Amino acid sequence: MNTPEVTGPPARGGATGLLGFLDGRPLPRTELDRRLAALRAGPRSSALPAPGTAEDRQLTRWVAQVVLTEELCRAEAAARDLDCSAAPLARLDQRAAVELGSIAAAAYEGNAAVRAVFAAVTAEVDATAAEAAAYRTAVGAATNRTTTRWRLTTPDGDFDADPATLPADLAAALRSAPPGAVVEVGGWTAALAEPVSQPAPAGPEAPTGALTEAAAHLRDCARRIAFVRWLDQARARRLTLVPGLEHPGDPAQPDNYHRH
């Protein structure tokens, strides 16, 4: 995304009245200013950075990128003749939001056109049965290394615990004591009632339902990655930014404090 020269002194957060250019068409910053004003008037306004600070300018850049992402997807949805009303509301979990990135995640949750374009761009992306089986094997191996649990009886009641989380002296005493025997170590009193059953190893022979779940998980991850790649390429080709509204992570803009 190139930044053109804009004549005259730039206003805070970009050239006066201008958000950027989409396919060469100028976009007014009206929606950006509306959203910033709504944030300042909202219930979390006290958590926002003070106006005029570098952090405030970074917030403006972040909101600008969300709006630009939405405008880009509106144009793409129109070009593809997509029915945005058919895109359901969505709430991303933490993993999905991280994979998309905060800007794309905010646009995805807040704008039907973004969700419609996401669905169209990633419709052919899927995970193979071999990938799902390999994923189940890897996850199962990692899980089985850490899922040994004990059922303990204590004066405060019964509970399950990973032996690795117990005091080392207590865990050693419980291992050497007969099942059900009460041990007292370092002020702790407990008896090992029984080991909790381990989950069956996951792998190529895992139940079909488990493989289907793994495939769905891999497919969703792959689709988010594919959409981010498409979005990055579309932004680079079709969006032109203005001074003051660069991407907040752009190392060339003066308020980016992330240094290596």
CA 35 to chain centre: 22
Q: Is the pTM of this model over 0.75?
A: no
φ, ψ dihedrals at 102, nearest 5°: -60, -35
CA distance 6 to 260: 30
- pLDDT value of residue 196: 52
C-alpha distances (whole Å) from 150 to each of 155, 162, 166, 199 are: 16, 6, 10, 14
Confidence category of residue 89, pLDDT binned at 50, 70, 90:
confident
Give the other-Cβ count within 10 Å of 114's Cβ.
Answer: 29
pLDDT, greater one: 78 or 4 = 78
Radius of gyration of the chain (CA): 27
pLDDT, greater one: 233 or 95 = 233
| pLDDT one-digit tens code per residue, 72-83 | 999 999 999 999
- pLDDT value of residue 17: 87
φ, ψ dihedrals at 240, nearest 5°: -120, 125
C-alpha distances (whole Å) from 98 to each of 62, 107, 134, 226, 232 are: 15, 13, 23, 14, 16
Confidence category of residue 46, pLDDT binned at 50, 70, 90:
very high
Confidence category of residue 144, pLDDT binned at 50, 70, 90:
very low
Domain ranges in the chain are 18-126+224-240, 148-195
CA distance 75 to 72: 5
